[in-house]
A and B are shown apart, each in its own frame.
Chain A
Amino acid sequence: MEPKLAVRDLDLHFSEKHVLKNISIDFPDKKIIALIGPSGCGKSTLLRSLNRMHDLNPKARITGSVLLDGQPIYGAKNDPVEVRRKIGMVFQKPNPFPKSIYKNVAYGLSLYGSMKKSEIDAIVKDSIVDCALWDEVGDDLDKSALELSGGQQQRLCIARSIAVKPEVILMDEPCSALDPISTAKIESLMLKLRNEFCIVIVTHNMQQAQRVADFTAFMYLGEVIEYAETKTLFDNPQKELTQKYLNGNFG
């Protein structure tokens, strides 16, 4: 099957530091793929290179390619803004804008500038409903998003990114700042969103990877060591490094 997102021979340097080393990996559509590995292994850096978030960092130098539906996303011909509309991102720390709930979700849509108010209203509502947040905030969308709890804020950030109808959603440790109940809500939300999107998630939590991910990639020192179906990777890792990491004796 044609991968939704494909990484080919990707190398990334921050100044002199070689952070990602010759990475090639396929992300299939309508699946959840987890990136795991010890801190500093480059998994967040890889995630951020999938929607050109390194563009504004003058120290970052990238070679190789990332293909969305077979089309390269890097290169002068491709507008990073277009890329990011198709490949959304949810950050580690919930980052709602200091605006109302409505304006947060409508933010991406309002940038298009040509939509009718009624269309935007409908999409805002759908996105909030899809993120299982409507029951909690539906009665007052004019409330500031900063008044919500951390878990609600993160679900709002997910609603905000699905409102622009992306094709891929990148999540950078979306639950690491949240309590177990909020985490469970986000996880069930991810499983629901899997029906529509390709989701790539960076996580430190191996139970989480096992609960939600169809595929898991183990990264170490800037390389993808092993990439397989989640159950295979956890039950029967092929590489010694992976076994060591999963057994928790690393160092």
Chain B
Amino acid sequence: MKSSNNNSVQWFGIKALALCAFIVVLFLGIILYDIFSKGFSTLGWDFIFKYPKKGMTEGGIFPCIAGTILVTMITSIFSIPIGVATAIYLHEYAKDNLATRVIRASIRNLAGVPSVIFGLFGVVLFVDGLHMGSSLLASGCTLGLMTLPYLITTTEEALRNVPNAYREGALALGATHWEAIRTNVLPSAVSGIVTGAILGLSRAAGETAPILFTGVSFYLRYLPASVFDEFMALPYHVFILSTQHHAIEQVRPLAYGTALVLLLLVMILNILAFVIRYKYRNLNRL
């Protein structure tokens, strides 16, 4: 009697868990379906490679795509070296004391800071403080700051996954600590680092708040000619087309199309991360 009671409790529990998982997938599915179904008809060469026309009611979104790609590149140039170096220092060199524990806790907390706060900080530090002005460079650096905590955490995780035997084996052969890291630890951790970096960058590419005050523009007739120019970006363009435009109903298909392009861009980056991880895992198994 008791065991059958337990069994039914277990049955119910498992079904409840499955239901929760289903709900999550369901919402993802609904969002994807909504954006694909409404945005797909807008997609086309002209949409991707042409400039907006007639107050953004017609034409393409090329400057937004280019802007997002450019700003993400600046983000990666700024954040990957600093993030990876920080993680190497923290995991391989720093002693486990109060200072490093405080640093780790701060990094974790930074990861939870709302992106709009990073945006405001970017205005103070990069736009005004370092006189970058409202520009690609300021936005890229602000997004870079926002991506750093994530990058550091994933890189540290990747380094932690490298067996200590690889370090000790290298040291026992007369490698210096740095040689052991460079020739043995980093090659084993590179897939984890690269996937972490790509996922972090794909998140940065979709952010609006950090670029809002630091460099993105409503509408520009030209691509940025230097890193000190303003730029257009996909996430901000979606925001404009769906809330700030003078003819919101008319541009709705364009908004959906833009959202779809952003989604595809992020998806491509995620698939790339997945492929890299899969490829390296097989290489390491060989």
| C-alpha spacing A51/B172, complex, angstroms | 8
| C-alpha spacing A144/B173, complex, angstroms | 19
Closest to B188 in A: A98
- In the assembled complex, the CB of A239 is this many whole angstroms from the nearest CB of chain B, namely 33
Residues of A within 8 A of B187 (CB): 98
| C-alpha spacing A155/B259, complex, angstroms | 58
B218 located at the interface, meaning its Cβ lies under 8 Å from any Cβ of chain A in the complex: no
Task: Evaluate contact between A89 and B284: CB separation under 8 angstroms.
Answer: no
Residues of A within 8 A of B168 (CB): 53, 89, 91, 95
Within 8 A of B (CB), among A11-50: none
Partner of A144, one of B163, B171, B286: B286
- In the assembled complex, the CB of B75 is this many whole angstroms from the nearest CB of chain A, namely 31
Q: Which stretch (A66-74, A156-164, A187-195) binds chain B? A: A156-164
Residues of B within 8 A of A85 (CB): 173-174
Residues of B within 8 A of A98 (CB): 166, 187-188, 283-284
Task: Evaluate contact between A56 and B172: CB separation under 8 angstroms.
Answer: no
Task: Evaluate contact between A111 and B179: CB separation under 8 angstroms.
Answer: yes
Residues of B within 8 A of A164 (CB): 173-174
Closest to B286 in A: A144
Residues of A within 8 A of B283 (CB): 98
Residues of B within 8 A of A108 (CB): 173-175
A4 located at the interface, meaning its Cβ lies under 8 Å from any Cβ of chain B in the complex: no
Task: Evaluate contact between B171 and A53: CB separation under 8 angstroms.
Answer: yes
| C-alpha spacing A64/B168, complex, angstroms | 23
Residues of B within 8 A of A89 (CB): 168, 172
Residues of B within 8 A of A161 (CB): 172-173
Task: Evaluate contact between B286 and A107: CB separation under 8 angstroms.
Answer: no
Residue of B173, B175, B183, B284 ringed by the most chain A CB atoms within 10 A:
B173
| C-alpha spacing A164/B95, complex, angstroms | 31
- In the assembled complex, the CB of A85 is this many whole angstroms from the nearest CB of chain B, namely 4
Task: Evaluate contact between A107 and B170: CB separation under 8 angstroms.
Answer: yes
Interface residues of A (CB under 8 A from B): 51, 53, 56, 58, 81-82, 84-85, 88-89, 91, 93, 95, 97-98, 107-108, 110-111, 144, 146-147, 157, 160-161, 164
A-B contact pairs, 11 of them (CB 8 A): A56-B177, A82-B174, A84-B171, A89-B168, A89-B172, A91-B172, A98-B188, A98-B283, A146-B284, A160-B173, A161-B172
